[in-house]
Amino acid sequence: MGDLAPVLLVGAGKMGAAMFAGWAARGLPPSVVVDPSQPAGVARAEDTMVASLDLVPPAFVPGAVVLAIKPQMAASVLPAIGAMLPNTSVVVSILAGLTVERLSALLGDRHAVVRAMPNTPAAIGQGMTVAVAGPGVSRAQLELADALLSASGELAWLHDEALIDPVTSVSGCGPAYVFLLAELLEEAGARLGLPPALARQLARRTVAGSGALLAASSEESAQLRRNVTSPNGVTERALAVLMDAWPDTIDRALIAATERSRELGKQAVLF
The CA distance from 60 to 5, in Å, is: 12
Contact 137, 113 (CB under 8 A): yes
Would you tell me how many other CB atoms lie within 10 Å of the CB of residue 128?
Answer: 20
Q: Are 112 and 90 in contact (CB under 8 A)?
A: yes
Shared-domain flag, residues 197 and 231:
yes
**Parent domain of 233:** 172-266
pTM of the shown model: 0.86
Pair (17, 113) in one structural domain: yes
Q: Distance between alpha carbon 51 and the CA centroid of its chain, in Å?
A: 23
- Shared domain check, 41 and 86: yes
How many domains, in total, are found in the chain? 2
pLDDT at residue 225 in the model: 97
Q: What's the rounded Cα separation, in Å, for the pair 200 and 218?
A: 29
Of the residues 104, 137, 164, the one at which a domain ends: 164
Phi and psi for 14 in degrees, rounded to 5? Answer: -60, -45
In whole angstroms, how far apart are CA 45 and each of 15, 30, 41?
Answer: 20, 9, 11
Tell me the pLDDT of the chain (271 aa) as tens digits: 457 889 999 998 888 888 888 888 888 898 999 886 655 445 554 567 777 888 888 888 899 999 999 888 888 889 988 888 887 789 999 998 899 999 999 998 888 999 999 998 988 889 999 999 999 999 999 999 999 999 889 999 999 999 999 999 999 999 999 999 999 999 999 999 999 999 999 999 999 999 999 999 999 999 999 999 999 999 999 999 999 999 999 999 999 999 998 888 776 554 4
128 shares a domain with 34 = yes
Position 37 scores a pLDDT of 65
Which of 128, 122, 126, 132 lies closest to 157, judged by CA? 132
What residues form DSSP beta bridges with 157?
131
Domain holding 153: CATH number? Answer: 3.40.50.720
The CATH number of the domain holding residue 236 is: 1.10.3730.10
